[in-house]
Amino acid sequence: MVAAALVSRCAALASFFSLAAQVIFVQADGSRLPERGLLDPICRRIADETSSATKVYYPGSSTYAKAIHHWSFASTEASECVVEPATPEDVGRVLQIVGETRTPFAVKGGGHSTNPGFSSTKGVHISMDAFSEVKYDASSQTAEVGAGLVWDDVYEALEPFAVNVVGGRVSGVGVAGFTLGGGFSWKTNQYGLTVDTVVAFELVKPDGTVSTVTEDSDSELFFGLKGGLNNFGVVTKFTLKTFPQTNVWGGLITYTANSIAEVTAATAEFSATVTDPKASIITTYNFLAGSPGISLLLFYDWPTPPPGLFDSFLEIPHFTRNVKTRTFLDLVTAAPSNVQANQRGSFHMVPVLEYTPSFIEAVVNQTVYWGTRLSLLPFLRTGTFFSYAVEPFLPNIYTHNANPTAYPYSRSRFFSPFNIYFSWLSPTDDKLFRDSVLESARALLDVAQAGGQSNLALAVQVASAKADSSRLPERGLLGLLVDPICAQIADETSPATKVYYPGTPKYLKAIHHWSVASTQLSDCVVEPATPEDVGRVLGIVGETHTSFAVKGGGHSTNPGFSSTDGVHISMAAFCEVEYDASSQTVEVGAGLVWDDVYAKLEPHSVNVVGGRVSGVGVAGFALGGGFSWKTNQYGLTVDTVVAFELVKPDGTVSTVTEDSDWELFFGLKGGLNNFGIVTKFTLKTHPQTKVWGGVITYTANYIPDVTAATAEFSATGQLKDPKASIITTYNFLAGSPGVTLLLFYDSPTPPPGLFESFLKIPHFTKDVKTRSFLDLVKAPPSNVQANQRGSFHMVPVLEYTPSFINAVVNQSVYWGNRLSLLPNLRTGTFFSYAVEPFLPTIYTHNANPTAYPYSRSRFFSPFNIYFSWISPTDDKLFRKSILESAQALTDAAQAGGQSNLGEVPLYPNYAEGSTPVEVVYGDHLDELRALKARVDPENVMGLAGGFKL
């Protein structure tokens, strides 16, 4: 269901981008508007000088739209008109007219090309739809096939005669382009390429004359047409050899990422050992909806294959399977090849001499690398599908024709075609994706040659050389060659420590962040098993000056704070929760999220001062300060830390307490990742009963009522009871403002009337009740905005006055209207302004100073802002906008009498990444820098991102 939801989301975005692209398509070039097409003299001349059976269509008609349409939207161009000739002679007259007037034109058969301009044009579009005959001649065992057909039509027409031709392997592929380009088929192992089976071409030459071209009539032209594409005229009909056709066996099997290694081994084995010419496979490594997977097509040209031939595939656990005895046409239509229709796309290829395990492993790595880098998920690029098709053939396929053909230009050296296909949504990404396809092909060519497949460069399309090599990752990212630093880490840490590279699901899971704006592709992921191994990793990255990052829960929205393009250290193995009833403390691993901690402590009826919503990591939250539902009673999370298990930058492991090193203990309480890597926290616990609270949502009509109740509660409600807390969030979503209210009371039932001012307001939804603490934390839909791009920022607020909250409402509506998908077709999806009132005593729960907050003598509440959006090209716009909004609200607060806000610290867990470190640490900055010099004289932690001292 998750996968289905992701695909649905992708499809929705595809529809949006497709609509946007079509709007731009018309507006960008006025010459393509219908008005000109209706008057174009060339089109009118064609209509006048061809037979009445030939049709000319103009923009604005459904037939015109159907005719210019291509399988890949990137190849669809708006022409001046569409000409649908009825006879070869009319094709000849059209060629004469466009030739005399030097008018650009295109010829479209099936429309499966992904190359813009190959079968599309801004000039005169020639549609071959009228050439749709299939005539079988049993005496010559040949079939005449019209150039306007797709192979599905041919197979269906020949089925009653129990014969077939050497044609396309999937549904929707045009006869003409496929044949004129060569043609690799399910029957190629038995009969050669499609060009090897052509007996005659009906050709309209560029001068308009019509002729039948055979080996005997014109051997040179016959040679040229076999692979020479559209260079010699317009082919209107092919005469093809036919062959007997029974039912066949085969179909589609899909596998999840877990089975990639087994399918890879089976594919390499099949390629190397199977010699039965009736047997064929296509193993396609895909990346879709954020995950890798495999589609396998099996084919045997007989109702039943020999026993055991395909067992190496059939024995692997599958996700879906549709393999059986069937008609040839049914097999061709079994593959979901048209799922990617109506998107933008590009094919490319690599000629492969041998599908070795090492080459196929490189294919897997390329699939995951480019899929991760350019996908809607996790990066919200506009890529939707990434496909790498392993297509092994027998080495004798080029021997079925003794005569030379334009393609392949050499029949003396065997190769199999290896196909790459990327699809995407936005036309602004065309160059990026086409360059990326070429880069990927070049990388795989290098791998094949490194594996001993020499001189492949002679067979590669020259276009691949056009890729900008400066964009190729310099080390490790492709996963083809192991980064030496990563290899050193793997060698010098214990066997329990894991190192993952691009191409594995665990790598993807490890680098993934709640906000995809913070997800970066690292050279590798290291998952240390012990503090000592963390120390060795720090030693290696320090010695080699390698950038790195440390990720606990991955909830930061600041790129580079817990992500890197170097060595990514995942703390996932540090997942212990050990409660000590005698000391009333708990040891908590740095790889956990607060949900895990609450679940473990629930049986003991105790709790800690932790995160307020689901999915927030322990480590970043605790090291940044930590505002909690329990802060009114016990202070910040840093106020409840008894000890840190710390791996220092020099690799040594120590337990830091107030007594062991009070300066470092001070620095770790809010100092983030500046002093080493914390692997474990020892926290005070407090008794925990059931709690009362949950979520209420309100529509825009009730914003004034909620605002008045929030201001009243902030000013008076909490003074009566530190167990009570609220978060009032003003949202803008789907073109409309609204409010989400979180209520919390740290007891099964609140005092009568405490929250009455909220409860009496008519609500849209309401989920408020007595429940466990963990259930309350999971109640808000905080993960709805996961897997989008996003940024937090904040304003320190001394008092939530009605005027300030009204300014908040205005800001939410202003930025929501300005940057939303609706109504302005920006890529913003969600705008959130969270009013979080606390008691003025919250900083008095700890008598000792902490790195954050740098001042405990002046009260403030953190006010949180969050924007989310889709397109990475909008990152700068949205981050700039959130800073502008924060400044506007700071000005509003100061205008309302909240003076000297510049002297109040910004909460580092909310602050946008460009925030100066001075406004985070203020008067403590000099002391923290001196501590940093003592603990980390080589500035190892400076190789990681964050608010650096």
How far apart are alpha carbons 800 and 726 in whole angstroms?
12
Statement: residue 724 has pLDDT above 70: yes
Statement: residue 368 has pLDDT above 50: yes
C-alpha closest to that of 772 among 741, 746, 740, 752: 746
pLDDT of residue 824: 57
pLDDT of residue 840: 92
C-alpha closest to that of 909 among 634, 628, 656: 628
| Residue 890: burial class (beta carbons within 10 Å; 0-12, 13-18, 19+) | middle
Please tell me the least confidently modeled range out of 314-318, 469-473, 494-498, 587-591: 469-473
Statement: residue 33 has pLDDT above 50: no
822-839 exposure pattern, b = at least 16 Cβ within 10 A, e = fewer: eeeebbbbbbbbbbbbbb
Structure tokens at 849: 């100073």
pLDDT of residue 472: 27
pLDDT of residue 822: 57
CA atoms within 13 Å, Cβ hemisphere of 926: 1
Q: How confident is the model over 662-677, as a mean pLDDT?
A: 98
Neighbours of 684 (CB within 10 A): 18
Backbone angles phi, psi at 397, to 5 degrees: -65, -25
pLDDT of residue 412: 84
The secondary structure element, H or E, covering residue 367 is: helix 357-374
Statement: residue 681 has pLDDT above 90: yes
Percent of the chain with pLDDT strictly greater than 70: 91
Please name every residue paired with 325 in a beta bridge, in sequence order, or none if there are none: 249
Are the C-beta atoms of 798 and 889 separated by less than 8 Å? no
- For 141-170, what is each residue's pLDDT tens digit? 999 999 999 999 999 999 999 999 999 999
pLDDT band at 847 (very low <50, low <70, confident <90, very high): very high
pLDDT of residue 30: 28
pLDDT band at 821 (very low <50, low <70, confident <90, very high): low
Statement: residue 467 has pLDDT above 50: no
C-alpha closest to that of 785 among 518, 604, 533, 581: 518
495's CB contacts (< 8 A; 6+ apart) are: none
- For 381-398, what is each residue's pLDDT tens digit? 788 899 999 999 999 999
Amino acid identity of residue 764, one-letter, is: F
428-445 exposure pattern, b = at least 16 Cβ within 10 A, e = fewer: ebeebbbebbbbbbbbbb
| Residue 63: burial class (beta carbons within 10 Å; 0-12, 13-18, 19+) | middle
pLDDT band at 781 (very low <50, low <70, confident <90, very high): confident
C-alpha closest to that of 486 among 552, 565, 559: 565
How far apart are alpha carbons 370 and 13 in whole angstroms?
20
How far apart are alpha carbons 456 and 434 in whole angstroms?
21
Statement: residue 719 has pLDDT above 70: no
Q: Which residue has the higher pLDDT, 932 or 483?
A: 932
H helices of 159-228, where? 175-181, 188-191, 219-225
pLDDT of residue 93: 97
Q: How confident is the model over 370-379, as a mean pLDDT?
A: 75
Q: How confident is the model over 66-79, as a mean pLDDT?
A: 89
List Cα–Cα distances, 726 to 26, 606, 745, in angstroms.
Answer: 50, 22, 9
Q: How confident is the model over 169-197, as a mean pLDDT?
A: 96
Q: Which residue has the higher pLDDT, 336 or 856?
A: 856
pLDDT of residue 662: 97
**Chain position carrying tokens 């390629």:** 271
How far apart are alpha carbons 520 and 567 in whole angstroms?
11
Q: How confident is the model over 869-887, as a mean pLDDT?
A: 92
Q: Which residue has the higher pLDDT, 690 or 461?
A: 690
Statement: residue 503 has pLDDT above 70: no
Neighbours of 294 (CB within 10 A): 25
Structure tokens at 76: 């669809």
Give the DSSP per-residue string, 453-481: -TTGGGGS-GGGGGS-GGGS-SSSTTSSS
For strands 124-127 and 105-108, give the pairing: parallel
- For 532-556, what is each residue's pLDDT tens digit? 999 999 999 999 999 999 999 999 9
- For 583-623, what is each residue's pLDDT tens digit? 999 999 999 999 999 999 999 999 999 999 999 999 999 99
Statement: residue 272 has pLDDT above 80: yes
Are the C-beta atoms of 664 and 677 separated by less than 8 Å? no
C-alpha closest to that of 127 among 107, 112, 111, 146: 107
pLDDT of residue 40: 78
pLDDT of residue 373: 85
904's CB contacts (< 8 A; 6+ apart) are: 796, 798, 855, 858, 860
Q: How confident is the model over 658-679, as a mean pLDDT?
A: 98
pLDDT of residue 28: 27
Please name every residue paired with 323 in a beta bridge, in sequence order, or none if there are none: 251
For strands 248-256 and 291-300, give the pairing: antiparallel
H helices of 182-318, where? 188-191, 219-225, 260-273, 311-314
For strands 567-570 and 548-551, give the pairing: parallel
Statement: residue 20 has pLDDT above 50: no
Are the C-beta atoms of 825 and 833 separated by less than 8 Å? no
How far apart are alpha carbons 100 and 81 in whole angstroms?
18
CA atoms 354, 357, 358, 364: torsion sign? positive
H helices of 311-356, where? 311-314, 328-334
C-alpha closest to that of 251 among 199, 327, 200: 327
Q: How confident is the model over 462-484, as a mean pLDDT?
A: 36
Give CA angle at 150 (146, 156), nearest 5°. 90
pLDDT of residue 831: 96
- For 310-335, what is each residue's pLDDT tens digit? 999 999 999 999 999 999 999 999 88
Please tell me the least confidently modeled range out of 246-250, 291-295, 773-777: 291-295
Q: How confident is the model over 231-252, as a mean pLDDT?
A: 97
H helices of 669-801, where? 703-712, 718-720, 756-759, 773-778
pLDDT band at 427 (very low <50, low <70, confident <90, very high): confident
pLDDT band at 291 (very low <50, low <70, confident <90, very high): confident
C-alpha closest to that of 363 among 292, 302, 425: 292
Structure tokens at 302: 């007989």
452's CB contacts (< 8 A; 6+ apart) are: none
C-alpha closest to that of 608 among 522, 677, 681: 681
pLDDT of residue 508: 82
**Chain position carrying tokens 């006025």:** 30
460-471 exposure pattern, b = at least 16 Cβ within 10 A, e = fewer: beeebeebeeee
Give the DSSP per-residue string, 640-698: GEEEEEEE-TTS-EEEE-TTT-HHHHHHHTT-TTSS-EEEEEEEE-EE---EEEEEEEE
How far apart are alpha carbons 706 and 730 in whole angstroms?
10
Statement: residue 339 has pLDDT above 70: no
pLDDT band at 825 (very low <50, low <70, confident <90, very high): low
Percent of the chain with pLDDT strictly greater than 90: 77
Q: How confident is the model over 801-810, as a mean pLDDT?
A: 96
Are the C-beta atoms of 642 and 682 separated by less than 8 Å? yes
Amino acid identity of residue 513, one-letter, is: H
Q: How confident is the model over 88-107, as a mean pLDDT?
A: 96
716's CB contacts (< 8 A; 6+ apart) are: none
The secondary structure element, H or E, covering residue 527 is: strand 524-527
pLDDT of residue 410: 85
pLDDT of residue 656: 98
pLDDT of residue 475: 33
Neighbours of 160 (CB within 10 A): 8
Statement: residue 219 has pLDDT above 70: yes
Are the C-beta atoms of 551 and 520 separated by less than 8 Å? no
Structure tokens at 570: 């995942």
pLDDT of residue 7: 35
Statement: residue 717 has pLDDT above 50: yes
pLDDT of residue 823: 57
C-alpha closest to that of 257 among 553, 443, 3, 8: 3
Q: How confident is the model over 393-411, as a mean pLDDT?
A: 92
pLDDT of residue 389: 96
Own/partner pairs, 370-375, CB within 8 angstroms, 24+ separation: 370/287, 370/422, 370/436, 370/440, 371/287, 371/288, 371/292, 372/287, 372/502, 372/508, 372/521, 373/436, 373/521, 374/422, 374/424, 374/432, 374/433, 374/436, 375/287, 375/290
Mean pLDDT, the chain, rounded, equals 89
Statement: residue 217 has pLDDT above 70: yes
pLDDT of residue 376: 66
Are the C-beta atoms of 603 and 684 separated by less than 8 Å? no
Statement: residue 462 has pLDDT above 60: no
Statement: residue 204 has pLDDT above 90: yes
Domains observed in the chain? 38-130 (3.30.465.10), 134-244 (3.30.465.10), 253-396+409-451 (3.40.462.20)
